[in-house]
A and B are shown apart, each in its own frame.
Chain A
């Protein structure tokens, strides 16, 4: 599923811009593998600020909640994070399926407060790409399949100019969790 007319390179570029503006970071210090918290000094409020800038840039809705929260909302409190605030084995299994090697430091028993530090520039960019790839086959208004990237960042119908409506980040995470659960029966 790779339908976005906006390139990953553009996404990384916009993300860097958002990080520079939010954190006063030096652009040369921002690498794909940089941890927003550990390497770039972001805090939870900063994430929301960065997300907001990305939403404005691309006309999308980023996820308001991280995967762990969605797991607990769907499968109950305690399913992802135990009473001591530590990751359960099932949560780690799921995060590894989702993020693969990029989050290789993950292990059961890890403190939940350490998880946000695993978010990197690359993983955030992929989150944006997932949303951009949810662009519908054709324009809801005129029915044509002719998406164009206006100014490189805004997906618009090349025929009638209607902006694309993407799925929001939270819905995509929930849909992914449902699919994985159907296949692997983790919970």
Chain B
């Protein structure tokens, strides 16, 4: 894969899990990294600091910005920070997500609003604010989705937001291609991140899945990096499933 050196990437929700793996992968390919996480204190902040040190030891520039993407103000602050530090943005990786684990019909009104605000509106806010920074040279936007967009997972209302996300991929891919911004998605299978620890509390059978069906965060990061490279200019408006064959083997039609 070609070098991403001299490029800048923002990965939302990058102090943990898949976001962190993507940050490492893009940095290893040469990109400077904006690390975003929600809260300025607590374990995410500590993990973001660790990641920053690791990326800087590779010689990359980094910027740590705590920001809650569900807030338009907060997103504006995030991007004005990026503008001040880097001037432009090449890659926007929309990875941050937050949702309760409950059957949809049991969600309280405020939980429903938060679900949409963080996982739908938040991503749109980011795109709106990123466009001025991608104006000159174009860029890539990669959405991180999950199999919940297409298949039932118990107590997983985030799935419906991921379905909306994959629709936004198709929509923005068309409307932004004239600006030389290529939009795609990566749909991950079951990944053993912190969120998995939660999922398994609601879905006990999941522990019986054979180990080879669990996706490594690095495998999602690999495809994300590919979608940021010149090797993927032919791919527009697609969401690529990275699930080690899980959906094909378990949900196949005859």
Q: Is the CB of B110 within 8 A of A43?
A: no
Contact, CB under 8 Å: A41 / B41: yes
Q: How far is the CA of A81 from the CA of B111 in the complex (A)?
A: 12
> Contacts A48-B201, A72-B108, A81-B110; is A42 near B42 (CB within 8 Å)?
yes
A42 to chain B, nearest CB (A): 6
| Nearest-neighbor residue (CB-CB) of B45 within chain A | A41
Distance (whole angstroms) from the CB of B109 to the closest CB of chain A: 6
Do B201 and A46 have beta carbons less than 8 Å apart?
Answer: no
Would A64 and B195 count as touching, CB distance under 8 A?
no
Find the A residue at minimum CB distance from B15: A43
Number of A-B residue pairs, CB cutoff 8 Å, is 41
Q: Are the CB atoms of B42 and A52 closer together than 8 Å?
A: no
- Give chain A's interface residue range (CB within 8 Å of chain B): 10 to 19
Q: Which of A41, A64, A73 contacts B43 (CB 8 A)?
A: A41
B201 and A52 contacting across the interface, CB-CB below 8 Å: yes
Chain B residues whose C-beta falls within 8 Å of the C-beta of A48 in the assembled complex: 197-198, 201
What chain B residues lie within 8 Å of A46 (beta carbons)? Answer: 43, 194
Contact of A52 among B41, B43, B197 (CB under 8 A): B197
Q: With a CB–CB cut-off of 8 A, which chain B residues contact A41?
A: 41-43, 45-46
Interface residue from B43, B45, B108, B200 paired with A23 (Cβ < 8 Å): B43
Residues of B within 8 A of A77 (CB): 108-110
**How many chain-B residues does the 8 Å CB contact rule pick out?**
20
Contacts of A55 in B (CB 8 A): 201
Flag whether A45 is at the interface (Cβ < 8 A).
yes
Secondary structure at chain B's binding surface: helix, strand, loop or mixed?
Answer: helix
In the complex, are the beta carbons of A45 and B200 less than 8 A apart? no
Q: How far is the CA of A42 from the CA of B201 in the complex (A)?
A: 19
Contact A85 B110 (CB under 8 A): yes
Query: Chain A contacts of B106 at CB under 8 A?
Result: 73
Interface check A49, CB cutoff 8 A: yes
B180 interface residue per 8 A CB criterion: no
With beta carbons under 8 angstroms apart, the residue of B42, B198, B202 that contacts A43 is: B42
Indicate with 1 or 0, residue by residue over A22-57, a CB within 8 angstroms of chain B CB atoms.
011000000000000100011101101101100100
Q: Write the B19-55 contact mask toward A (1 if CB under 8 angstroms, else 0).
A: 0000000000000000000010111111000000000
Nearest to A40 among chain B residues (CB) is B43
Judge whether B39 and A45 touch: CB under 8 Å.
no
Which residues of chain B have C-beta atoms less than 8 A from A37's C-beta?
A: 42
Q: Which residues of A are found within 8 Å of B202, using beta-carbon distances? A: 64
Residue on A with the closest CB to B195? A45
The docked-state distance in angstroms from the alpha carbon of A41 to that of B15 is 14
Beta-carbon contact of A43 and B44 below 8 Å? yes
A49 (CB) vs chain B CBs: closest residue: B197
User: For residue A43, which residues in chain B have a CB less than 8 angstroms away from its CB?
Assistant: 39, 42-44
- Give 6 A-B pairs besides A46-B194, A64-B101 with Cβ atoms closer than 8 angstroms: A41-B43, A42-B42, A45-B16, A49-B194, A64-B201, A64-B202
A-B contact pairs, 12 of them (CB 8 A): A41-B42, A43-B42, A43-B44, A45-B16, A46-B43, A48-B201, A55-B201, A72-B108, A77-B108, A77-B109, A81-B110, A85-B110
